[in-house]
Amino acid sequence: MKNNPASDSTDAAVTRRAALGLAAASVAAAVSAEDDKPSATVCNSESVKQAEWISGLQLTDEQCEATAIDLRQQQAKVQQLRAIPVDYDVLPALRFDPEMVEPGILERTSKCPAWLSSIAAMPAQSSLLRPEELSFLSVRMLGRLLRDKQVTAVELAQHCIAGLKQYGPTLKCVVTLTEELALQRAAVADKELAAGKDRGPLHGIPWGAKDLISVAGYPTTWGAPQFRDQITEKSATVVDKLQAAGAVLVAKLSLGALAMGDQWFGGQTRNPWNKEQGSSGSSAGSASAVAAGLVPFALGSETLGSIVSPTRRCGVAGLRPTFGRISRSGCMPLSWSMDKLGPIARHIDDCGTVFDVIHGSDFHDPTAVDRWFKWPMQINLSRLRIGQVDGVRLSEPDEVTLNVLKELGAQIVPVELPNEFPEWAIALMLDVESATVFHDLLAKNETEGWNTWPDTFRTAHFLSAVDYLQAARVRFQLMKAMVSVFEKVDLYIGGGDLGICNLTGHPTVVVPTLMLDDQEHPQPQCSTLTGRLHDEATLLAVAQLIEERVGMTSQHPTLSD
C-alpha cells in the first residue's frame, strides 16, 4: 500500500502534541511537588533577588516573582534530565573543533611541510648488555636487540615488571601490574618475530598506561577511591592500537585523583630525581616511571598541563598533541573540549614512534581526525621561522634551546602571544564540563580523596549556561588570535602558553636541555616548543635536533628502594 504523506504528517503532529502534553503534565506535577516543599527549599521571588549576582542582572520585584515561577518549571525539567541514567562514556551532542578558525587548514594538514623530508630510521647499534643497562635504552635500541636475538620480549617484560615491583612502592607510580597480560603478549611477540612477522618498531616493547586509560579485565581506577574496583569489558582505542603494533603493556600507572595533581589514593607519586618532591600531575606515574627507567614509554593525558607539567618536573620528553589527534575512546572524560592523550618517553624519537602508531580517527571519538604525519623526518631549519616570545622571561632551558637553534642556522623571529583574552577565565569551561561528568557522586557527597575537585565542582554548579557559552565565544576569539601568531612563525619556544594552547588545541613538545647540578638534588630542566595545529612532525624533528646537540638522554636518576 502506498503511503499517504498527508496522513503521515497528521499522525506525526498528533504524536508530537501527545508527547508535549505528557511532558507538560510531568513538569506540572513536578512543579506542584516543588510547591509542596518547605519554603526554605522552594525558589521564590526572595531567593531570586538574592541570586541576582549569579545572573549579572538587576530585576524588579515583579520580574523576580515571574522569574521564580519560570525557574520552578525549569528546575522540574532539570530534575527530569538528572533522573535519566548517563554513563561516564556518553558524549555530549556538541564537540570542540580547533580547525574551525584557520582557513585552508585541511589542505595544509594533508601533506608534508616543505621543510621536512623523509629519512630512514637510523639503525641502532647492537651490543650485548648487562640486564640493568636495559632500563634506559631507547625504543629503537631495544628493538634492535630484540631482532638480533640478544634479548627476548619476555625478558624485556620481566625486566620492567621486576623494576616496577622494586621501585614502584617508593615512587608510588604503579596502580596495577598487568603481569599476566604482559607475559602472554610478550610470548606472542617472540613467536611472531621468530617467524618473520614484524609489526614495526614497537613490537615487543614494554609500556605503561596512565590509569584513566581502560584495559579490558583490569581495574581502571582514575586515581580515586570510588573507582578502585572499576573494570571494563573493552579496552581504550589507544590500547588496541598499541597491542596491534605488538607493544606489551606492563602496568597501569598512577594519576592524581580524577586527573588532578600527583596525589591519588595510594599516596603522592614521587619524582625519581628527588623523592622528597612530587612528580607533578596528573600524568604523574607515567612521567615518574619513564624517568626512573621502569618503562621505555608511557601514555599520559592532558587537559590543562598534565603532560607538560610532569615531564618537565621529571626531566623527560613528552608530546601533547593537537586536540583531536588521538582518540580518547575508553578514557576517563574530564573535559570533552580539552582532553588530549600523548606519549611520554626518554627520547624524542620514541615519542614520534609511539605517536605514529596511536594517532588517527576513531568512530567512537568524533573529535579524532586523520591528518598527515610521518616519522622519522629530517628538517631544513633554514626554511623555518622560529619564534621567541616577547614580554615573557626566557628560562635557562629555553635559552639553551634558542642558542642551539641559532648555532644550527635557524631564523629566530620575535613574536607576541595574545594577551587580550583571559585564558584562565575561559578555562571555567573545564570546571563546568568536569562538574557535569561527576555530578552524581558530588550530589551524594561521595567525594573522598578527590583533592580540591569538590570545591571546583560545587562552584561550577553556580555558573550559568550563558556564562559557559560566553566563555566559548571568547575562546573562539583566542583561537583566531593564535592563527595570526602562526602567520608570523612556524613554531615558537617557551612563552608561558599552557593555558592558551590547551584552550586553542595547539601541540607542544617537551625536551630536556639543561642539567641543574648546583643543588642538593640535581635534575634536568626542560624547554617547550609549540607549533601549528597538527604539525607534530615539525615540532618533533626540531626537538630531536636539540636533543642530539645537548646530550641529556645520557643523564639518569639514582634509584634506591
Point out the catalytic residue in the list 214, 279, 282, 329: 282
Q: Give dist(CA 389, CA 174) in Å, integer.
A: 38
Peptide bond just before 376 cis, omega within 30 deg: yes
What sign has the CA pseudo-torsion 454, 70, 93, 234? Answer: positive
- The answer to whether 415 and 520 have CB atoms below 8 angstroms apart is no
Q: Give dist(CA 200, CA 378) in Å, integer.
A: 20
Minimal CA–CA distance to 471: which of 506, 507, 428?
A: 428
Provide the pLDDT for residue 374.
Answer: 98
Nearby residues of 255 by Cβ (< 8 Å), 6 or more positions away:
210, 211, 212, 222, 223, 264, 281, 282, 283, 284, 285, 286, 306
Residues in a beta bridge with 116: 379
pTM, entire model: 0.91
Provide the pLDDT for residue 323.
Answer: 98
Provide the pLDDT for residue 166.
Answer: 98
| Domain boundary assignment for the chain | 43-84, 98-122+132-375+382-422+465-554
The number of residues making up the chain comes to 561
Active site residue 210: yes
What confidence category does residue 515 fall into, taking pLDDT thresholds of 50, 70 and 90?
very high
Point out the catalytic residue in the list 210, 241, 252, 340: 210
- The answer to whether 386 and 491 have CB atoms below 8 angstroms apart is yes
Q: Give dist(CA 63, CA 48) in Å, integer.
A: 9
Residue 152 has pLDDT above 70, yes or no: yes
The separation between CA 423 and the C-alpha centre of its own chain, rounded to angstroms, equals 18
Mean predicted confidence (pLDDT) in 72-90:
91
Minimal CA–CA distance to 88: which of 227, 283, 281?
A: 227
**DSSP secondary structure of 76-102:** HHHHHHHTS---TTPPPS----GGGGS
Beta strands in 311-399 (DSSP E): 317-320, 340-345, 377-379, 385-389
Q: Which of 27-31, 82-86, 125-129, 347-351 has the lowest mean pLDDT?
A: 27-31
- The answer to whether 134 and 150 have CB atoms below 8 angstroms apart is no
Q: Which of 69-83, 176-190, 215-229, 463-477 has the lowest mean pLDDT?
A: 69-83
Q: Give dist(CA 557, CA 171) in Å, integer.
A: 12
Nearby residues of 438 by Cβ (< 8 Å), 6 or more positions away:
258, 453, 457
Between residues 360 and 13, which one has the greater pLDDT? 360
Strand 385-389 relative to strand 491-493, pairing: parallel
Q: Which of 29-33, 45-49, 145-149, 517-521 has the lowest mean pLDDT?
A: 29-33
Report the 10 Å Cβ neighbour count for 266.
Answer: 18
Phi, psi of 338 (to 5 degrees): -135, -20
Q: Which of 68-82, 146-160, 333-347 has the lowest mean pLDDT?
A: 68-82
The vertex-340 CA angle with 526 and 353, nearest 5°, equals: 65
Minimal CA–CA distance to 293: which of 134, 424, 437, 105?
A: 134
Structure-block grid coordinates of residue 333 = 572524560
Minimal CA–CA distance to 434: which of 311, 304, 324?
A: 304
Please return the burial class of 69, using the count of CB atoms within 10 Å of its CB with bins 0-12, 13-18 and 19+: middle
Provide the pLDDT for residue 164.
Answer: 98
Point out the catalytic residue in the list 214, 288, 306, 395: 306
Active site residue 282: yes
Provide the mean pLDDT of the chain. 92
Residue 552 has pLDDT above 60, yes or no: yes
Active site residue 45: no
Provide the pLDDT for residue 128.
Answer: 62
What confidence category does residue 226 fall into, taking pLDDT thresholds of 50, 70 and 90?
very high
Q: Give dist(CA 514, CA 397) in Å, integer.
A: 6
Nearby residues of 30 by Cβ (< 8 Å), 6 or more positions away:
76, 79, 80
CATH says 98-122+132-375+382-422+465-554 is which class? Answer: alpha beta
Q: Give dist(CA 449, CA 435) in Å, integer.
A: 16
Structure-block grid coordinates of residue 37 = 516543599
